[in-house]
Amino acid sequence: MAIYFDIKEDENKNIMFLTSATGNDIIRAPLLNKGTAFNEDERERFGLDGLLPPRVLTLEQQVEKVYQRYNTLGNPSKICINCDKIGKLEQNSIKKEGDLARFNFLRDLHDRNEILFYAFCHSYLEEVIPIIYTPTVGDAVIRYSRDSARFRGIFISPKNIESVEKIFNHFRFKHPTIAVVTDNQGILGLGDQGVGGIDIPIGKLALYVLGAGIRPWETMPLTLDVGTDNSADLLDSYYLGYKKGRLRGIEYEEFIDKFVDGIRKKFPDILIQWEDFSRQNAFTILDKYRYKILSFNDDIQGTGSVALAGIINALKLSKEEIVDQKFVIYGAGAGGIGIARRIAACLVLKYHISKEKANDKIAVIDSKGLVTDQNELEDYKKPFMKKKNVYKNWNVENISNITLLEVVKNFKPTVLIGTSGRPGHFTKEILTEMNNNSSRPIVFPLSNPTSNSEATPQDIYKVTKGKAIVATGSPFESFKHAGNNIIIGQCNNFFIFPGVGLGAIISKGKYIPDAVFTEVAYKLAEMTPNKRISKGAVYPSINEIRNISANIAFTTITEIAKERGTSKHSLEDIKSKMWTPRYYPMIKI
């Protein structure tokens, strides 16, 4: 017999769970299960007496129990007896295994007791973010088919795309307000990971809940499993996804069309966040659907916004204007072009220069070198193509493959941003040239995970003698330079997407205007304490995420209202809508 479950909210905004489930069915339902926190009355009413130990614990006590276990899993002394006697590579490998064990432990908790999972993560936010999302989630994605025991979210493939509306009827919640959707092709710095990519929407939605207080029962993780070209997955007898090569061309386009039509019919007001689509697909899908269904692409628009915020704060240190800078973006995927787009959009909006002049200030480098009119280009790169009159007098070896070093020497950028996924490519020579171009060069090696960073902050500080202003994509530990303790700000999309998502949902606008992503960058920059900026950390602390997300949501709502005439909301009203983890009364029906 099907179990009934719904959520009721009374006139005082008190939430109650309604269910027909009893006994072990409640214990097996992640959102209903309170474990040892069920009180005596609930145990009697829902047939739980005897199915649980007699002691009743509070949610806070449960969180501390989880933390004790969590700490044990990541403690190197518990994993390796002689860790202090082995090399750094071996230590890093052991740490990765420990982090993955923690990831799987928290994923099991998520699937067993959802409220406790969020209460724990909420209490230890800064500590767990690198575990439940980047960089650890990348390893989890690779091992998804081997490690996963329970399955969360929606899996759409060529086998069931014709029944997509019916599939949405199977989803565990009736009124989702946000779906994070991936086709698994551009996962972090890992590329095509097939069905394992579902871990990315699951993790991203956990961050929406933690960062912006979007209610967990309003979230939908979803993978468009259109096959994989990952040979390891295709050869793996345990691979769980659609075991054929990727759909391409018209077949792929029709698949996406059917998905969008189906989700729009079933949930017409839902917000879609497109995630980890590869290169041209990311831009094509964003541009095709952004006015047809409420949606945005965090890899393009979120990355662009958060990078722009870091640049704005970095220029506070050099006391210069962004319009006077020249930019090199090393890496022409969704993130790199997203940053280029946002810088250009900022120059147009805030400094009223033409789009062409804004684009002229930006040089983009892909796998073939500087993006120029010498090579055949995908459409999304063309706005940043350099014409021959720009580089014809440059001192280069091969005009058809102008290297990063040659661009830095000839174009003379003051800002260098890496989204290439190529570790160590910001060499000593390149960093020295950046130091020659500016008294305070801005160098952001943003590739994830940490192992893919174009340079370490320590190396950048060493080569530039501490002049460079640095931010990274993955977290780096603080270090000493010239007697000072250096804290590196993390250019983390987490500062942007939860607030934009919350604001878009509250506003009920039909689309998100492009200006939103420039204005929220300025809001994030404004919310970074001057004390941190003066120390070189151009981003705030993750611990401030709730207040940051509320302000980002306020800015998003305000900008949507300007263009769409939708209702405005006060900051206090927005904060009142942000969910925090707690157990709710349950009504038996």
Q: Which residues are catalytic?
A: 133, 204
Q: Which of 207, 219, 198, 157 is nearest to 30 (CA)?
A: 219
Taking CB atoms within 8 Å and a gap of at least 24, the contacts of 99-102 are 99/74, 99/130, 99/131, 99/136, 99/139, 100/136, 100/139, 100/140, 100/143, 101/73, 101/74, 102/70, 102/73, 102/74, 102/131, 102/136
Distance in angstroms (rounded) separating the CA atoms of residues 332 and 364:
7
Find where tokens 């991936």 sit: 182
Residue 397 and residue 406 in contact, taking contact as beta carbons nearer than 8 Å: yes
Q: Under DSSP, is residue 340 helix (H, G, I), strand (E, B) or coil?
A: helix
| Lookup: tokens for 138 | 């990348």
| Lookup: tokens for 76 | 């190197």
* Backbone CA torsion sign across 50, 56, 58, 64: negative
Tell me how long the chain is: 589
Distance in angstroms (rounded) separating the CA atoms of residues 304 and 307:
5
Residue 444 and residue 470 in contact, taking contact as beta carbons nearer than 8 Å: yes
Taking CB atoms within 8 Å and a gap of at least 24, the contacts of 256-264 are 256/224, 256/285, 258/161, 258/162, 258/164, 259/156, 259/161, 259/164, 259/181, 259/224, 260/289, 260/292, 260/293, 262/164, 262/165, 262/167, 262/168, 263/164, 263/168, 263/179, 263/293, 264/292, 264/293
Asked if residue 449 has a cis previous peptide bond (ω within 30° of 0), the answer is yes
Q: Which residues pair with 384 in a beta bridge?
A: none
Residue 437 and residue 409 in contact, taking contact as beta carbons nearer than 8 Å: no
Spatial CB neighbours of 336, under 8 Å, sequence gap ≥ 6: 329, 330, 364, 417, 419, 420
Spatial CB neighbours of 303, under 8 Å, sequence gap ≥ 6: 334, 335, 338, 339, 419, 446, 493
